A and B are shown apart, each in its own frame.
Chain A
Amino acid sequence: MASNTETTEPTLEDLGVGQMDLLRFATAGSVDDGKSTLIGRLLLDSKAIFSDQLEAVEATSQSKGYDYTDLALLTDGLRSEREQGITIDVAYRYFATPRRKFIIADTPGHVQYTRNMVTGASTADLGLVLVDARQGLTEQSRRHAVILSLLRVPHMVLAVNKMDLVDYDQAVYDRISREFTAFATKLSIPDLEIIPISALKGDNVVTRSEHMPWYQGSSLMHHLENVHVASDRDLIDARLPVQYVVRPKSDEFHDYRGYAGQLAGGVLKPGDEVVVLPSGMTSKIAGIDLFDREITEAYPPMSVTVRLEDDVDVSRGDMIARVNNAPQASQDIDAMVCWMTNEPLHPRQKLAIKHTTRTGRALVKDIQYRLDINTLHRDQETKELGLNEIGRVQLRTTVPLLCDSYSKNRTTGSFILIDEATGVTVGGGMII
């Protein structure tokens, strides 16, 4: 052991262990919007980029004959993407400040990659949309806002980038703000922040810009660190999809029978009266275990094991809820579906469906309309959905889904569709 007389041992609290909270955000945009530059800057300024990564990127930039370091190379991970110079898949990036850890789902912005953006947005607390101040709102930025709204991402930031190229002009920002706010009234965006930035020069990225004294709001980083996400969780409607039945059958835990799952909503406590769906049997919670500890309350997104007082039949795919507040059990599902494969979706098609911990089969009864995600126009003429298209679909399932509307609960309101022959995920659905 080395002797360290002058330095004192830091405590775990000093080091921030267990102190930080989490924000997942999705970014959308193309290279032209400066998205990669912005992400590169967030990573650099929060020291999430290491010197060997930076050196590799500097070397590659140099060998390509650039006279600048192309920060986009930091995020373009696969060789084919580096060769083509575009981002074709969702890439996950990580950085942290002393208060918060951030997970970025970095997605490509082009229309042919809508499915990637839907994927990235599905788990996001916040969506970051970039526009080029010189061009103002484009079809692409509107589409990004529509997707974030459809996926019910509760917070949105519109970053008006390249303000340095419009002389930090307030009029440019005001015009884009007005236009976007008007457009956003057609969408479901509970919280919107519009921030003028220059990713390249660093204005309003981490620190407030001196070039834009007319802007009174916070810098992007300050907003990301402080945006309030705790209240986005539903703490009223208790939902525990049962994943796994824990039965040790050991001498010590001979009669133990626990129902393991991750809370999708609400708060559960020992003594609560609960109903098990789809059977409808009722019981009381005898105890809630978190590893070797009994806890007094379980809430999302905790992974717990619940024991019941009565010996009721519970298995994977069931849902534990409250007697007077349970999800509906339905085999007829209306949903917005994003289609993710080349072969189009059409009526009468049969697919596998996975919803919470339940798997079954689904028959496409009708495609009611296709949503034009640029104009929000509902096209009722076309009776199929092509790759990257989103539309309203009616399904009939072989097993009842224990579901809520997606607008009420993103976990019990979502499902995926799987091609039974190839096993590939071909669609994502949001229950209406």
Chain B
Amino acid sequence: MSQTHADYRLSQLDQLEAESIHIFREVAAEFEKPVLMFSGGKDSIVMLRLAEKAFYPAKIPFPVLQVDTGYDFPEVLETRDNWVQRLGVRMIVASVEQAIADKVVVDDGKTSRNRLQIGTLLHAIEEEGFTAAFGGGRRDEEKARAKERVYSHRDDFGQWDPKNQRPELWSLYNGRIHGGEHMRIFPLSNWTELDIWHYLAQEQVEIPSIYFSHQRRVFQRDGMWLSESEFNPTKGNETVEERTVRFRTVGDLTLTGCVESEADTIERIIEEVAIATVTERGATRGDDRFSEAAMEDRKKEGYF
């Protein structure tokens, strides 16, 4: 043979892509009613891109579900709509506002929208009878996630039991569930934040503009820069000023902080991520800061 093994090398990004596409196809083949949880953030955009590739030239054979906190960034919703329209995929919006009105969840004024998403999401999954829900979670994000399976089992109450996880060997995924249970599927388990950016750079697909450096009116709270917004009134001596910032994650805008940055292209973002010294969650997500086990607790309740 004239060709050697070196000619058949696949870059790590291509390997991750192949592994994730394999997962998407397994789920589409084995589950009755899958759904893709789509926030419009960079990880869920990568997810949608992978799903697009997995089934091309056919359309993605499942709908996308967005949990609308009511406090989402308009730029993110715009990108979400563009993607959904381009792919011709059905979108279901589960609204936290609606869930509050329907008394599915209780807004006591103290609970964050992020936490209210849990009940809203679980209600939507139950209502529609979804048996598998794709999430964009990555194991590099946080310690509790580092041990979560690609196929992560949820009981009748949507809860995760970290001590009772199924062994996951080779690339043989076990999708057996009983009625009322569902599976969370994490095709990006082995991706890191840097991989996500490398992939977005390689694919050149649309992402929300707020990931790039821009001028924004912000104020400081708990050491984070938060966006000025009608949903987020300033308190006490918090003062609004204009800064050059970008967002590293896009969640509930009352909790998601931005960082000062001049990175206005994906290339510059990659440079910045490569030398960042604080994890994206630690830097900009108020909801993960309260305790070292914050994520584990929310996951057990049924968080993404």
* Inter-chain contacts of A116 with B (CB < 8 A): 167
Q: How far is the CA of A115 from the CA of B165 in the complex (A)?
A: 12
Q: How far is the CA of A5 from the CA of B84 in the complex (A)?
A: 38
Q: Does B163 lie within 8 Å of A80, measured CB to CB?
A: yes
Q: Does B29 lie within 8 Å of A357, measured CB to CB?
A: yes
- B170: contacting residue among A9, A11, A123, A423, CB under 8 A: A123
Q: Does B56 lie within 8 Å of A416, measured CB to CB?
A: no
Q: Which of A171-189 contact B (CB under 8 A)?
A: none
Q: How far is the CA of A119 from the CA of B18 in the complex (A)?
A: 21
Q: Does A89 lie within 8 Å of B169, measured CB to CB?
A: no
Interface centre among A244, A247, A248, A423 (most CB of B within 10 A): A244
Tell me the total A-B contact number using a CB cutoff of 8 A. 220
Q: Does B15 lie within 8 Å of A301, measured CB to CB?
A: yes
State whether the Cβ of A51 lies closer than 8 Å to any Cβ in chain B.
Answer: yes
Q: How far is the CA of A92 from the CA of B19 in the complex (A)?
A: 16
State whether the Cβ of A250 lies closer than 8 Å to any Cβ in chain B.
Answer: yes
Q: How far is the CA of A11 from the CA of B270 in the complex (A)?
A: 11
* Inter-chain contacts of A90 with B (CB < 8 A): 147
State whether the Cβ of A369 lies closer than 8 Å to any Cβ in chain B.
Answer: no
Q: Does B57 lie within 8 Å of A250, measured CB to CB?
A: yes
Q: Does B54 lie within 8 Å of A21, measured CB to CB?
A: no
State whether the Cβ of B301 lies closer than 8 Å to any Cβ in chain A.
Answer: no
CB distance from B22 to the nearest CB of A (A): 4
**Contact stretch, chosen from A137-145, A156-164, A197-205, A407-415:** A407-415
Q: Does B171 lie within 8 Å of A15, measured CB to CB?
A: no
Known contacts A12-B267, A414-B169, A100 near B58 by CB under 8 Å: no
Closest to B61 in A: A244
Q: Does A260 lie within 8 Å of B262, measured CB to CB?
A: no
Q: Mark B198-209, 1 if CB is under 8 A from A, else 0.
A: 100110000000
CB distance from B298 to the nearest CB of A (A): 13
State whether the Cβ of A4 lies closer than 8 Å to any Cβ in chain B.
Answer: yes
Q: Which of B14-56 contact A (CB under 8 A)?
A: 14-19, 21-22, 25-26, 28-29, 52-56
State whether the Cβ of A65 lies closer than 8 Å to any Cβ in chain B.
Answer: no
- B10: contacting residue among A250, A301, A415, CB under 8 A: A301
Known contacts A2-B262, A301-B19, A267 near B8 by CB under 8 Å: yes
Q: How far is the CA of A108 from the CA of B19 in the complex (A)?
A: 25
Q: Does A256 lie within 8 Å of B146, measured CB to CB?
A: no
Q: Does B5 lie within 8 Å of A303, measured CB to CB?
A: no
Q: Does A1 lie within 8 Å of B18, measured CB to CB?
A: no
Q: Does B265 lie within 8 Å of A291, measured CB to CB?
A: no
Known contacts A78-B147, A424-B166, A15 near B267 by CB under 8 Å: yes
- With an 8 Å Cβ cutoff, the count of chain B residues facing the other chain is 76
Closest to A341 in B: B167
Q: How far is the CA of A74 from the CA of B146 in the complex (A)?
A: 11
Q: Does A60 lie within 8 Å of B292, measured CB to CB?
A: yes
Q: Does B293 lie within 8 Å of A230, measured CB to CB?
A: no
**Contact stretch, chosen from B70-78, B112-120, B275-283:** B275-283
CB distance from B141 to the nearest CB of A (A): 10
Q: Does B270 lie within 8 Å of A15, measured CB to CB?
A: yes
Q: How far is the CA of A231 from the CA of B57 in the complex (A)?
A: 33
Interface centre among B147, B202, B270, B278 (most CB of A within 10 A): B147
* Inter-chain contacts of B10 with A (CB < 8 A): 21, 299, 301-302
Q: Which of A367-407 contact B (CB under 8 A)?
A: none
Known contacts A1-B264, A244-B28, A354 near B174 by CB under 8 Å: yes
Q: Does A78 lie within 8 Å of B57, measured CB to CB?
A: no
Q: Does A2 lie within 8 Å of B56, measured CB to CB?
A: no
State whether the Cβ of B13 lies closer than 8 Å to any Cβ in chain A.
Answer: yes
* Inter-chain contacts of B59 with A (CB < 8 A): 248, 250
Q: Does A416 lie within 8 Å of B22, measured CB to CB?
A: no
Q: How far is the CA of A69 from the CA of B161 in the complex (A)?
A: 29
Q: Does A91 lie within 8 Å of B147, measured CB to CB?
A: yes
* Inter-chain contacts of A233 with B (CB < 8 A): 5, 8
Which A residues are within 8 Å of any B CB, using their own CB? 1-2, 4, 9-12, 15-22, 50-53, 56, 60, 74-80, 88-94, 96, 100-101, 103, 115-116, 118-119, 122-123, 230-231, 233, 235, 243-244, 246-250, 252-253, 256, 260-262, 267, 289, 291-292, 297, 299, 301-303, 305, 316, 340, 352, 354-355, 357, 410-411, 414-416, 418, 423-425, 428
Q: List 23 A-B contacts (CB under 8 A).
A: A9-B265, A22-B12, A52-B278, A80-B163, A89-B147, A94-B139, A116-B167, A122-B170, A231-B5, A244-B55, A248-B59, A299-B8, A301-B18, A303-B19, A340-B167, A357-B29, A414-B170, A416-B172, A423-B174, A424-B174, A425-B167, A425-B168, A425-B169
